């Protein structure tokens, strides 16, 4: 059965330290991966408000990434320059290629895209414009035992 | 740089033995995976002509799969029934779940979707309706040495 976006609460927070989270504050993310219990690649549906960025510009050391635009218009910014992507357009980024990218919604209406990514737990993302890198820090979390979902 | 679909020759042939290839003969596939040299998951852009099926109904023993619809309308058929998917809709299938699926274009215009899949070389697909299963049979192929592409 297809994903019912109305039944998933989108994530809006980001992990960037200030002042780097302001530019991505208009981003909503629907985690498709966990909805379907996928483990081999990640799928997020993302809605970008006008003026918002997808992320800070980055490249992945170990994960491939692909983006497919559904609705509206985003500007892809890489070391090579800028390019406008619209509905049906697709771009992908091979792991380890040091060409930082992100998407900006410079239009006056929301843009929707899907982001697909590898799941290497040793991946890290490099953010050259802000001089940071990031990795996923997995933590064990306990909760009261309950019946399986 | 985004994929330029006009510069990629879509694949139209299928590997099904007769009489099972007729239903998928209106399918064109743009291999995004190789265009961007991705290795961790596969991405295909698919255009389905009116009347055509995406595949015979199948499930994967070892690969996760996700489908994102871009244009037009397709009918998802699984053991659970039927469901119509349109632009922006997404559905995914976890590896090993024995619920065969495919998509039928019952409309009078082409449908476009992206298909994302795991890359487990030991995957096989099970086609319960036609009593077959399939795996990828990798072969070494030689060609005259030439300069790297």
**pLDDT above 90 as % of chain A:** 91
Q: Is the pLDDT of residue A96 over 70?
A: yes
Which residues of A are less than 8 Å from B36 in CB distance? 64, 66, 91-94
pLDDT at A9: 93
Over the stretch A24-44, which tens digit does the pLDDT of each residue have? 999 999 999 999 999 999 999
Which residues of A are less than 8 Å from B45 in CB distance? 90
pLDDT at A143: 85
Mean pLDDT of chain A: 95
pLDDT at A148: 73
- A87 and B70 in contact by Cβ < 8 A? yes
Which residues of B are less than 8 Å from A73 in CB distance? none
Over the stretch A65-80, which tens digit does the pLDDT of each residue have? 999 999 999 999 999 9
DSSP assignment string, chain A? ----GGGSPPB----PPTTTTGGGTTEEEEEHHHHTT--SSEEEEEEE-TT-BSSSSBEESS--EEEEEEES-EEEEETTEEEEE-TT-EEEE-TT----EEEE--SSS-EEEEEEE---TT-EEEETTTTEEEE--------------
C-beta of residue A102 within 8 angstroms of C-beta of residue A133: no
Model pTM score: 0.93
Nearest to B64 among A1, A35, A41 (CB): A41
Q: Is the pLDDT of residue B149 over 70?
A: no
- B2 and A90 in contact by Cβ < 8 A? yes
pLDDT at A39: 97
Q: Is the pLDDT of residue B147 over 70?
A: yes
- Identify the CA nearest to A11 among candidates A46, A57, A36: A46
Q: What is the CA radius of gyration of chain A?
A: 16
Which residues of B are less than 8 Å from A32 in CB distance? 66, 90, 92
Q: Report the length, in residues, of chain B.
A: 149
**ipTM, 2 decimals?**
0.91
Over the stretch B22-69, which tens digit does the pLDDT of each residue have? 999 999 999 999 999 999 999 999 999 999 999 999 999 999 999 999
Distance (Å) from the C-alpha of residue A18 to the closest C-alpha of chain B?
30
pLDDT band at A141 (very low <50, low <70, confident <90, very high): confident
Over the stretch A79-91, which tens digit does the pLDDT of each residue have? 999 999 999 999 9
Longest dimension (CA), chain A: 52
- A70 and B64 in contact by Cβ < 8 A? no
pLDDT band at B146 (very low <50, low <70, confident <90, very high): confident
Nearest to B80 among A1, A35, A80 (CB): A1
Which residues of A are less than 8 Å from B122 in CB distance? none
- B63 and A40 in contact by Cβ < 8 A? yes
- Substitution target in A1, A6, A39, A41 with the highest count of B β-carbons within 10 Å is A41
Over the stretch B73-128, which tens digit does the pLDDT of each residue have? 999 999 999 999 999 999 999 999 999 999 999 999 999 999 999 999 999 999 99
Nearest to B64 among A40, A70, A91 (CB): A40
Mean pLDDT of chain B: 95
pLDDT band at A117 (very low <50, low <70, confident <90, very high): very high
Q: Which SS3 state, helix, strand or coil, does residue B107 take?
A: coil
Which residues of A are less than 8 Å from B3 in CB distance? 89-92
Please confirm whether the linkage preceding A19 is cis (ω < 30° from 0).
yes
Q: Is the pLDDT of residue A13 over 80?
A: yes
* Residue in chain B nearest A81 by alpha carbon: B1
C-beta of residue B54 within 8 angstroms of C-beta of residue B102: yes
* Residue in chain A nearest B84 by alpha carbon: A2
Q: Which SS3 state, helix, strand or coil, does residue B74 take?
A: strand
Structure tokens at A81: 């320059």
């Amino acid at each position: 059965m297809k994903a019912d976006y109305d039944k998933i609460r989108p994530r809006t927070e980001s992990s960037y330290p200030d002042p780097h989270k302001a530019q991505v504050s208009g981003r909503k993310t629907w985690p498709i991966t966990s909805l379907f219990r996928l483990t081999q690649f990640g799928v997020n549906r993302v809605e970008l408000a006008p003026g918002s960025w997808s992320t800070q510009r980055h490249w992945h050391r170990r994960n491939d990434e692909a983006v497919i635009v559904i609705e509206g218009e985003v500007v892809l910014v890489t070391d090579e320059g800028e390019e406008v992507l619209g509905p049906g357009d697709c771009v992908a980024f091979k792991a380890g290629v040091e060409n930082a990218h992100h998407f900006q919604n410079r239009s006056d209406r929301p843009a929707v895209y899907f982001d697909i990514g590898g799941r290497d737990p040793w991946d890290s993302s490099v953010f050259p414009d802000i001089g940071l890198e990031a990795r996923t820090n997995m933590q064990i979390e306990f909760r009261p035992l309950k019946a399986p979902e």
